Amino acid sequence: MSDLVINELTKAFGETIAVNDLCLKFEEGEAVVLLGPSGCGKTTLLKLIAGFLQPDNGHIAIGDDIISTPHEVIPPDRRQMSMVFQSYAIWPHKTVFQNVAYGLEVRKINKSDIKKRVMNALSMVQLDGLEGRYSTELSGGQQQRVAVARAIVVEPSLLLLDEPLSNLDANLRIEMRSELSDLHKRLGITFVYVTHDQAEAMVLGDRIVLMNYGRMVQEGTPEVFYQTPKNRFAASFIGTSNIFSGKLENGSSGGTIRVRTDFGPITVAKQVENAASSADEVYFCVRPEWVKFHTEAPGTDINVYKVRILKRQYYGKYIQYTVDLKGKEIIVEATDEWDIPLEAEVNLEFPPERCVCLENN
C-alpha cells in the first residue's frame, strides 16, 4: 500500500469537534502511535481511517486514490485495512479457528487456503495448538492474540489497533507490546496504534503523534519527544518533567537565553526548533534525571542552587527525591550512589543544555 495521507480532516459530533483540521501522513511500513488524553479524538481518527465514519471536511487518500471525503466513503471491507478494537470483539460461541477464519469465509476463499492461512496467522501470534478452544477458555492475553490473528489473516496493508492492551494486567501488557512490535517487523505493514500510555507509545512507535482536542500537538520519534517536547502539554504528557517559567532577560544571545525565575536566573540552551518566543514569559522544562546533585562545591556556578530534600522514594534502579528550591518543588531522580537523607541541604545543578525551552502555549 502507498502512503496514507490525511488532509484537513474534521469530524464533529454535535458541538464536539472530535477531529479538528488534522493533516498527517503515514508512510508505508511505518509504526505510528497516536497518543493523547481520553476524548482527544484517537478512536474517531481510527474510525475515519478505517471507513466507519464519514468526515465533515477534508479527505483521506492512499497514494493518489481518495478513499474518504464528506461526499463519499469507500467502505471498510474495500480498504485493505483491519482494525483491532479495544474490546477484542471476538465471538464466544465460536472456536479460535472459527473466529480467525470468519473474515476469509465472507471473502469466499476455498477451505484448504482458509486452513493454511488461519494456522499461519495463529502461529504468528503464538497460539499454535489452541485453534479448537472457545474464547471463554482463553486468558485475556490469548483473547487479545485471537483479535490480532483475525485482523492479520486477511493480509491487510494497514493494521489499526485501538488500545488493544488496555484490558491486560501490567506484566502481560509489557510482554504483549514487545510481541506486537516484533509482529510489526515480521509483517512489514503499516501499523497505526492508539494508546494513552506513554511507555507503550515510546516502545511501539517509530513515530508518535500526540493529540489534544482533536488536533495534533507534536509529532516525532520517541527520542525527539523525550528530548525536546514542544510545549508544556507535551512535556508533561510524555515522561515526568519539571516545568519552570520566568521572564526573558535582556542580553540573551548566541545559543542560550537567560530566564529570570522566582528563585533566580537560569541559563537555558536554545533548542533550534523550540526557541523561546520573544514574549517575555518563557517556559522551559528539565527531566528529573537531567538535574545533578553536588554535595561539594560544583565546578560551575551557572544554574546551581541550594535545595532541601523533602521526600525520598526508593525505586531500586534510582531514588526519586522531591526537593525544595525557595518554595518550588522539584523532582530529581538519581542513582543510589546519591543516598541523601531527608532535610539535607545540597547543591542542585540544572545543566543549560538540559533545560529545554518550550513554546509559549
Ligand X SMILES: Nc1ncnc2c1ncn2[C@@H]1O[C@H](COP(=O)(O)OP(=O)(O)OP(=O)(O)O)[C@@H](O)[C@H]1O
Q: Which range touches ligand X (CB under 6 A), out of 38-46, 124-132, 147-155, 295-303?
A: 38-46
- Count of residues that bind ligand X according to CB under 6 A: 12
Between CA 138 and CA 269 the distance in angstroms is: 53
Q: Which range touches ligand X (CB under 6 A), out of 41-49, 284-292, 316-324, 353-361?
A: 41-49
Q: Per the structure block, which three cell numbers stand in for 91?
A: 465471538
Contact criterion met (CB below 8 Å) for 23 and 6: yes
Beta carbon nearer to Mg ion, 18 or 121 = 18
Which of residues 16, 221, 240, 335 is near ligand X by CB under 6 A?
16
**Owner of C-alpha cell 495448538:** 129
Which of residues 6, 41, 122, 191 is near ligand X by CB under 6 A?
41
Between CA 149 and CA 118 the distance in angstroms is: 8
Query: What is the number of other CB atoms lying within 10 angstroms of the CB of residue 85?
Result: 16
Beta carbon nearer to ligand X, 36 or 288 = 36
Question: In the bound complex, what is the minimum distance in angstroms from residue 265's beta carbon to ligand X?
Answer: 40
Q: Is 160 in the site for ligand X (CB under 6 A)?
A: no
The bridge status of strand 57-62 relative to strand 264-269 is unpaired
Between CA 53 and CA 47 the distance in angstroms is: 6
The bridge status of strand 16-26 relative to strand 4-13 is antiparallel
Residues contacting 40, CB < 8 A, separation 6+: 211, 212, 213, 214
Beta carbon nearer to ligand X, 153 or 161 = 161
In terms of C-beta density within 10 A (0-12 exposed, 13-18 middle, 19 or more buried), how is residue 171 classed?
A: exposed
Q: Build a one-symbol-per-residue string for 191-230: x at contacts with ligand X by CB under 6 A, - elsewhere.
A: -----x----------------------------------
Between CA 128 and CA 13 the distance in angstroms is: 43
Question: In the bound complex, what is the minimum distance in angstroms from residue 236's beta carbon to ligand X?
Answer: 17
Beta carbon nearer to ligand X, 47 or 207 = 47
The item of ligand X, Mg ion, none sharing an interface with residue 145, based on CB under 5 to 8 Å by kind, is none
State residue 176 phi and psi, 5-degree precision: -70, -35
Q: Is 239 in the site for ligand X (CB under 6 A)?
A: no
Q: Is 43 in the site for ligand X (CB under 6 A)?
A: yes
Q: Is 40 in the site for ligand X (CB under 6 A)?
A: yes
The item of ligand X, Mg ion, none sharing an interface with residue 44, based on CB under 5 to 8 Å by kind, is ligand X
Q: Is 42 in the site for ligand X (CB under 6 A)?
A: yes
Q: Is 87 in the site for ligand X (CB under 6 A)?
A: no
The item of Mg ion, ligand X, none sharing an interface with residue 196, based on CB under 5 to 8 Å by kind, is ligand X
Which of residues 13, 240, 265, 339 is near ligand X by CB under 6 A?
13
Between CA 146 and CA 135 the distance in angstroms is: 8
Which of residues 15, 38, 112, 317 is near ligand X by CB under 6 A?
38
Between CA 156 and CA 164 the distance in angstroms is: 17
Dihedral sign, Cα of residue 125, residue 43, residue 214, residue 165: negative
Site for ligand X in 245-284 (CB under 6 A): none
Question: In the bound complex, what is the minimum distance in angstroms from residue 43's beta carbon to Mg ion?
Answer: 3
What are the residue ranges of helices labelled H in 215-293? 222-227, 232-237
Alpha-carbon Rg for the chain, nearest whole angstrom, is 25
Residue whose C-beta lies closest to Mg ion = 43
Q: Is 195 in the site for Mg ion (CB under 5 A)?
A: no
Site for Mg ion in 32-71 (CB under 5 A): 43
Tell me the CA end-to-end span of the chain in Å, nearest whole number. Answer: 37
Interface residues with Mg ion (CB under 5 A) are 43
Interface residues with ligand X (CB under 6 A) are 13, 16, 18, 36, 38-44, 196
